Structure formats: C-alpha cells, structure tokens
Structure 1
Amino acid sequence: MNSNGADVGIVLITSEGHHLMSAIHFKFYVTNNDAEYEALINGLKIALKVGVVNLIARSDSELVVNQVNGGFQARGPRTKLYMRCVQRLLEKFGNARLEGVPREENSNADALEKMGLQMDILQLGQIPLGIREIPSIPEVGVFQTQEIP
C-alpha cells in the first residue's frame, strides 16, 4: 500500500481467448494480502455480472489460493471475512475453482495494476478503471465485553 492508495489488475479470459481487462484503485488502506483478496473478489463479481457459468480463477497469491481452497488456515477476523466472501462467490458459479499461477505468468494483471497506480487514463484507453471507496467486506470492529457475575 502506498500513500495514494493501492491498485490491482484483473484479466478475464474467455474459453475463446478473448480478454476482458479491468484495473481497480482502492482509496482505503489494504495490506498486500487484502489487495489480493480484493482483486479476486472484484474479478469474480465481474465474471458473475457478464454471465460466466464455468470459471477457473487464477491468482498469483499462494496464500490466498491455499486459504480459499482449505490448505492454509485463515488467521485474523479480516482475512477470514475475505476468505468466506470468495468462497461464497465461487459457489454462485455452475462450476468454479481457484488455482495458483506463478507470478511471472501473471504479467497482464501486473501491467494493469501499474497503469492503475499511475492513474493514467490515456494509457488505460478502453480498459475500465474502477475506484473502490470501501472494502468488499464489512469492517471488523473490536468490541469490549464485560463479564456478568
């Protein structure tokens, strides 16, 4: 995360090989892992919106892929909310799975992220740049509890 916000790139590829790309700028604080989850969540929402039924989602975040697929335990309430959100979205597809992809094979999404970071609309051209003001998950609050005697 930098002082200007964080950015992610999303690339949807149809079975025919067509690319639908999007860049998203977050105006709220996100950790690197939060940004990975936000990218996945927003990509899944785009896929649902355009009517995708069968989906293979790919992420270069080994942590996120393994948490969502049950290989790693999600620690912390915020991470658990992100993980559950992704799992619920995946259930909305007829057939969906999440796979890991090496970072070097994720160059299209990384390039979109860098363009979004520069907020360069001319460079983005026809690629939509979304602005997110709030996280995809509810804020995690801290509550004080008091024991009742």
Structure 2
Amino acid sequence: MVEPIGGWSLLVDGASDGDVEGAGIELISPEAHKIKCATHLAFHATNNDTEYEALINGFKLALEMKVENSNVFSDSMIVVYQINRGYQAKGPRTELYLKCVQRVIERFNEVRLELILRGQNKGANELAKLGWCREATLLGVLPLDTQRQPSVPEHEVGSLSDGLGPMWMTSILAYIKGGSLPDEKNEARRIKYKAAPLRDI
C-alpha cells in the first residue's frame, strides 16, 4: 500500500461481471486500525459505476467516523482522473456520480485522492469480490451490506431531442448546478426529490 500522508486512509474498489456487482472499503485509522466493509450492489451497474459507488460509500463511512482529513486510494484510473484532473465524464449517469463525489468531498477538511496499482489495493478488491459473490462462509464475521438503489438518480437512455423538449435529466442537472427550477410546483418538487441523493449523502 502507498504510505499515507497523515491522518486516515481510505482504500476503495468496485467489482462487476456484468450480472452482479460489489463494492469494497478499507478505512484505516492513524493508529492502523482497520474498518472493513463489503457491499452487494443489488442493481445493474457498470464497472465505473461500482468504482464510484465504492468511493461514495467509503466517504459515507469516513463521515460517520468523524474523519476530517483523509488519504483516498483507488485503482480506477478513469475515476481518479475525472475527479483530480477534470477528465470528461461521459454520459449523464457518470456526470451525476462525479458531481455527487465533488459535493461529498466538500464536507471534509482535506481529501487527497491518489491512483494506486491493483496489487496495492488487494484488501479493498477482495472485499468488493465478497460483496459480489455474497458467500457468507467467506465473509465470516464481516457484515455484508446490500445496497438496493444507486447513489445517484436512475436515468432513462434516449435521444436528446425529438422535438419533445429536453430529456428530464437536463432539468435535474440544471437544478444541481445552478438551483434552477420550473415554475410549476409539482414538477419542481419532483426534480428536488430526484436530485436529493446528490445533496444529502
């Protein structure tokens, strides 16, 4: 493992085989005490989605532990570069995941996210696979969590325009980015509800 800068260390990994998905988290205290978490993702997720879910769930665990400063390690080049270097997030769901992570990072005093080799991330990788296979005999005393919904709103895939106006995701992104809401109260309430997971992690 990469030597920590100081404070807490968070290692995360996601795993997917196209049919089942899992997320693994290792939160390590300054005294080297480890908190491990394996999560079964009970919804369809791409490989990148599982990496983002592992990162978001890791941040949630760190916040529960009152962590203020954290060194975060992931072996996903795409996720790390999108967050650190502003690489383009392709697709509306990935953009929502990126926005979600950016918002939760603001709740920490300091976060440093680094890319590591897969071989340096064995603990989180094994936990992700345990969440994936859900083998209780392998888990032993380690609790297995099941997450039934994505951390970001579900979206529909369709054409951008068929003369019927913008995709419904456009209004959610407009609200998240700039607080823009339609005048119609029921529609405004619906957009706020769907955007809530990005604001209230």
What is the TM-score with the length of structure 1 in the denominator?
Answer: 0.90
- Following TM superposition, by how much is the alpha carbon of 1:47 offset from its aligned partner in structure 2, in angstroms? 0.6
Who is 1:146 aligned against?
Answer: 164
The runs of 4+ residues in structure 1 deviating greater than 6 Å are none
Q: Write the letter of the residue equivalent to 1:103.
A: R
Are 1:21 and 2:39 counterparts? no
Q: Is the 8 A contact 2:41 2:131 kept in 1?
A: no
* Count of residues paired in the alignment: 147
Are 1:37 and 2:55 counterparts? no
Who is 2:74 aligned against?
Answer: 59
Structure with the larger RCO, 1 or 2 (CA within 8 Å, 6+ apart): 1
Q: CA offsets per residue over residues 35-81 of structure 1, 9 Å max, x none?
A: 00000001111110111111111111010000011341111111010
Q: CA offsets per residue over residues 12-37 of structure 1, 9 Å max, x none?
A: 11111111100010110000000000
Shift of the 71–125 alpha-carbon distance from structure 1 to 2, 3 Å rule, reads same
Who is 2:24 aligned against?
Answer: 9
- Following TM superposition, by how much is the alpha carbon of 1:4 offset from its aligned partner in structure 2, in angstroms? 5.2
Unaligned runs of 5+ in 1: none
Q: CA RMSD in A?
A: 1.8
In 2, Cα distance between equivalents of 1:47 and 1:134 = 20
Shift of the 118–75 alpha-carbon distance from structure 1 to 2, 3 Å rule, reads closer
The alignment partner of 2:152 has SS state of coil
Q: CA offsets per residue over residues 88-130 of structure 1, 9 Å max, x none?
A: 1111011112111111100001111222223122321232211
What is the TM-score with the length of structure 2 in the denominator?
Answer: 0.68
Larger radius of gyration, structure 1 or 2?
2
